[in-house]
Structure formats: C-alpha cells, structure tokens
Amino acid sequence: MLEFRSVSFGFDDVGVLEDVSLSIPDGEFVVLAGANGSGKTTLLRHCNGLLSPDEGTVLVDGTSVEDDVIGARTSVGMVFQHPRDQFVAATVGDDVAFGPANLGLGREEIDRRVAEALGAVNLRGREDERIDRLSGGEQSRVAIAGALAMEPTHLVLDEPFTGLDEPARRSVVGRLEALAADGTGILLATHDLRDVLGLADRVIAMADGRVVVDDRPDRALEELDGLPVRVPRARADLEERC
C-alpha cells in the first residue's frame, strides 16, 4: 500500500505539490496523467524518498518513507525517463545485479533475481550483451528489470515511452500488462494515454500540484475534458477497447 497523507512540497524544477492525499492498494494499475510541470514527477519522487515532503507523510505499507528509506526503495521500484542514463554497468546482467548487490544479498540469490527479472521483460539469457548495442525498447526493458530485481510490490514509471518508436512502445506496454497480471502494482506517469488507459484500474490527473481527477478510467476521461491535461487520442482508444 502506497499512501500520501496531506503532502505538500515547495520547490523542485519538475513541479510542486499542494496537499496531496492518495492511497494506492497493492496490485492496482494506476495511470497518472498531467502536463509537464503539473507535479507528476515530484509526486513519484516522494514514493521512495528521493524527495521528502515539506508537510505531510508518505507511507509505504504503513511505514513512513523517512523512517525506512531502504524499505521504501526496495518496495517501490522506480524507472525514470531516459533509460540510457540509468545504467551503471556496460552489460545487461551486471546492470540488473546492481540493486540486489547493494542490498548485500548472496551471489546465488542475486543471480536468481537477475534471471527472473530478465525473464519478466522477455530478455532471459541476454546477461552478457552490451547495453549500448540494444534497441531503445530493449534498453527500457532492461531498466525495468533493474527495478524488478529489487522484488518491489509497486513499480513506478515516469514517462517510460519518451523517445520510443511504436513497436518498442508496444513491447514495453505488453510487459507492464503481464507484470500487472502477476500482481505487481503499477503507477505509470505519462501524458500519452493511448492503449495504457485500457489496462488501468484507475486514472489520477494532476494540475498545478493538485490531484484534480481520481476515478475509474471511463469516468475519469469525461472529467479530464476542460482540464489542462493533454489526452491525445485517448478517447478513441478507450472506445475501441470497451
């Protein structure tokens, strides 16, 4: 369970937060919509203590993030924009092993987690490949595997589709769908809602640091009209699926 209790945050170059209260149960697929600067990224960075609230509390499974940063960072896996800048090792296997190794886990456990995380993103057996020789979509999936190797209950993704072409985007969406089906909670920030809306249990929209919509996808879409939230092609996509 991820909980925000009256969280306010004053300044960050990616936006502010004003009195945000939310709770996201385990296993829920949430799409977080909003324009650039609406506070999406700021909100996400509070989930694992990369930012700390000026007022209010963020809790992961009932414990304040500030009281157990390591717990929050293992329970909430985070994937950022620009996967190229998130890798710490040149090869796939070494990179995915970085998180578990930091937790001080045994060699065998690390290897097991790396294999499992790569399997979850359809890259099993590619441990020894060089990351800079992979396609953009494969790099995104390695970044996701790096987060999954921490065995998180929630996976948080900030604009993971930036710079991806259509097939790559679809391959990432497909993996998210499979992870959600296996019970991983997903919090996906994007301003490009097509085809992820159909997967979502819930849509949260932000504007000027506040939550302005929080509803089921079909109802949320109507409420999004007239708000400063860009929803390109979302309606058509949802109608197609429903």
- Site residues (CB under 8 A) for other proteins? 45, 48, 50, 60-61, 63, 68-75, 77-78, 80-82, 84-91, 94-95, 98-107, 110, 131-132, 146-147, 150
CB of 12 to other proteins, least distance (A): 12
Q: Which two tokens stand for residue 196?
A: 């992820």
Nearer to other proteins, 111 or 177 (CB): 111
Structural contact between residues 81 and 159, judged by C-beta atoms closer than 8 angstroms: yes
- Measured distance CA(223)–CA(213) in Å, rounded: 7
- Measured distance CA(229)–CA(123) in Å, rounded: 35
CB of 103 to other proteins, least distance (A): 5
Q: Which two tokens stand for residue 142?
A: 């390695």
- Measured distance CA(145)–CA(176) in Å, rounded: 11
Determine the straight-line distance between the first and last CA of the chain, rounded to whole angstroms: 28
CB of 42 to other proteins, least distance (A): 13
CB of 89 to other proteins, least distance (A): 5
Alpha carbon separation from 196 to 65, 121, 134 (Å, rounded):
28, 17, 24
Nearer to other proteins, 111 or 192 (CB): 111
Nearer to other proteins, 81 or 171 (CB): 81
Nearer to other proteins, 27 or 198 (CB): 27
